Amino acid sequence: MDKLTRRGVLGLGAAATAYLAHELYRGGSGWDEADAANPQIAQANRVLNLYSARHYDTDKALYTGFTQATGIRVNVIEAEADALIERIRNEGANSPADVLMTVDAGRLWRAQEQGVFQPIQSAVLNRAVPANLRDPQGNWYGLSRRARVLIYNKARVKPSQLSTYEALVNPQWRKQVLTRSSSNVYSQSLTGALIAIHGVPKVESWAKGLVANFARSPQGGDTDQIRAVAAGIGSVAIANHYYLVRLMESSKSEDRDVAAKVGLFFPNQKAQGTHVNICGAGVAKGAPNRAAAIRFLEYLVSPKAQAMFAQGNFEFPVVRGVPLYPAVAKLGNFKAETVSAAVFGRNNPEALRLMDRAGWR
């Protein structure tokens, strides 16, 4: 386990454990201990134990749809991703987990490295999910896509001044660039993808240049970067597209005011394309309900489930031709980077070390 992962797990350990214990003993539609303890009973009851780092209201409707289609009940344990990975590891061979769902290929790779997944074969999944958005061995599959875009202050920047992630190191952006910390997996995956394209030495000098252009030392999440751009703390931020859509669609007028002050730019359109990451899932190593787990993943790539899954977080589906949320459709078409999520996931430790050397905190 790397330094940053360990820090995250320890930091969240107590809270996550309390949360999970609450879930475990919840009555009614919640977790059934007998199911958890005895795989045969679990089979007989036709359940699926989903460990999920996602928590959108629309997901509940998705799980209900699966139960209606298959008769398989879905037990959901929601917690922060690293805590779920740690929990499955601690449960070992007795783990009731059937499916682990989380965001970011870097994190899926870490889960795979820690032996949390088992490879599966599914013609349905292989047909539906593009090859660069799934693990070649079938350990995990991308279920939705998120673009890491540039968000700019409309009063200060013309879109014609923007081009690529690489160009953000140019002197014109001195003290103008906002992005989150290197301890964040989104930063690590973008860097990991750039390593796949340019190699370590070039990306290391890029990271140094980016740090030199930071408007402030990294703090907060992607939404905080967007707010800082709107407030003029910097001119351009690197952020996932759905954080802007959330502000655009917010019921709070102050959020919509923030969104109105900024523009979204898809970088690297004349180069490798905009960096795209995934939300994904895989079958857990000791899955007591393995067949149900595979069926669940196959259900999630059906067109109807794909639309709900992606729209729940204003993301792009992985399956072609599935309708987008209207505000997401309005962002326009873009060329997506084709670096395999398995490759930039695997580059995660190298990316971390590189950002550390570059002084990206």
The one-character DSSP state at 37 is H
Mark residue 250 as left, alpha or beta (left: phi above 0; alpha: psi -120 to 50; beta: remaining). beta
β-strand 141-153 against 236-240: which pairing, if any?
Answer: antiparallel
Q: Which residues make Cβ contacts (< 8 Å) with residue 87, sequence separation at least 6?
A: 16, 20, 51, 79, 95, 97
Other Cβ atoms within 10 Å of 283 Cβ, number = 28
Q: Residue positions in the annotated binding site?
A: 55, 242-243
Neighbours of 324 (CB within 10 A): 16
Q: Please return the burial class of 152, using the count of CB atoms within 10 Å of its CB with bins 0-12, 13-18 and 19+.
A: buried
Q: Give SS3 for 166.
A: helix
Beta carbons of 94 and 319 less than 8 angstroms apart: no
d(CA 343, CA 272): 15
Binding residue numbers for Fe cation: 55, 242-243
| Strand ranges, E, within 32-79 | 47-52, 73-78
Distance, CA of 33 to CA of 20 (rounded, Å): 13
CA proximity to 304, closest of 71, 139, 65, 89: 65
Buried b (16+ CB within 10 A) or exposed e, 3-16: ebbeebbeebeeeb
Q: How many residues does the chain have?
A: 361
In whole angstroms, what is the distance from residue 179 CA to residue 187 CA?
A: 8
- Give helix 185-198 / helix 348-357 axis angle, nearest 10°: 100
